[in-house]
Amino acid sequence: MVGFPVGGEADSTVLWDAICRLMPKRIDHLYIMGFILLCMGAMMLQWFNFLFVIVKEKTTLPFLLFLLLNSLNPGFYAIRPISFALFLLFFAMIELFGSYQNPKTVSRMFNMMVFLSAGSLVWPYLLWFIPFFGIGMYQFRVLNGRTFAAALLGLFTTGWFVLGWCVWKHDFTVFINLFQCMIDVRFIFIQESWLITWLAPLCVFVCMIFAFIHIALRKHENTIRSRIFFSFLLMISIASFVISVWYASSFDDFVCVFYIPASIIFAYFLSGKYRFGAFLFYYLPLSLFILLCWVRLWNF
């Protein structure tokens, strides 16, 4: 244990334990680092949105909504494995979205799987999202023999490097620990306070489904590209929300992944004709976010 809120738990990976040992021991420094990493993740989401013009309006709603939704997360200020794996997940999504209708982008599929497999060394549950990225390759019309082989090669490349390190060190704890993390299923419902923990993400999930249905019904305003992008984001959000129920100890990490597509879907829903609602959701999250920062720091 490095000190609250950072620590190596029983189900953490070897690489995450090594990262924890490098963390500063002072609690205030840990809080500052956690806050900076969260803001960088929100900026990454905003850049991702601008890069692929998912929300056509020029707005910072994805950035603000991501911060607001994560402020409802009990592990808001904690430096957790997802704090680092989140950036690799973003890079994998950039590679996938950038390959839309371009089956010759073999290198992008290779890079995508390298990012996902490398991120799993810090947060092993990122491996659960690899099949969904495979489905995304089919949705984005880039799946063929060459791209599939490149994706497999990218997936195994990280494993080969890790295997070589384990053979050199005569220690296969990395693979054993990774397997133990994946099979250590502890449902969120067995916890006494599961309803309080699960209530906020559940409300966000229900609202997101209604927002997506409204977006889907406005087909005349959406291109085929936009519908494919939103269908993939919805698939990732549902997957992260459902899998989060299986791993109670990593529930906060899965919720953070779930808030990525939720923020973009909400931002699209609140933009366009809903300018007044977007105006309110621009200043309201910022005000609530600052207030919540002071309340949590004061209570601590």
pLDDT in tens, 231-246: 899 999 898 888 888 8
Q: Where are the alpha helices (DSSP H) in the chain?
A: 14-22, 27-52, 61-71, 81-98, 106-120, 130-139, 145-169, 173-183, 194-217, 224-244, 251-270, 275-299
Distance CA 144, CA 93 (A): 19
pLDDT at 131: 92
Tokens 């609602």 correspond to 277
Q: Is 247 helix (H, G, I), strand (E, B) or coil?
A: strand
What band does 11 get if pLDDT is binned at 50, 70 and 90? low
Report which residue type is found at 15: L
Q: Are 212 and 230 within 8 A, CB to CB?
A: yes
Q: Where are the domains of the chain?
A: 14-299
Give the tens place of pLDDT for each residue, 163-192. 777 777 776 777 777 777 777 777 766 555
Angle in degrees, CA 103, 105, 110, rounded to 5: 115
DSSP 177-211: HHHHHHH--B-GGGSTTHHHHHHHHHHHHHHHHHH
Report which residue type is found at 182: M
Distance CA 75, CA 271 (A): 29
Give the tens place of pLDDT for each residue, 186-236. 776 655 555 666 777 777 788 788 778 877 776 555 677 888 888 899 999
Q: Which among 80, 87, 142, 93 is positioned nearest to 118, based on CA atoms?
A: 87
pLDDT at 215: 75
Q: Is 3 helix (H, G, I), strand (E, B) or coil?
A: strand
Distance CA 174, CA 80 (A): 18
Q: What is the mean pLDDT of residues 274-288?
A: 54
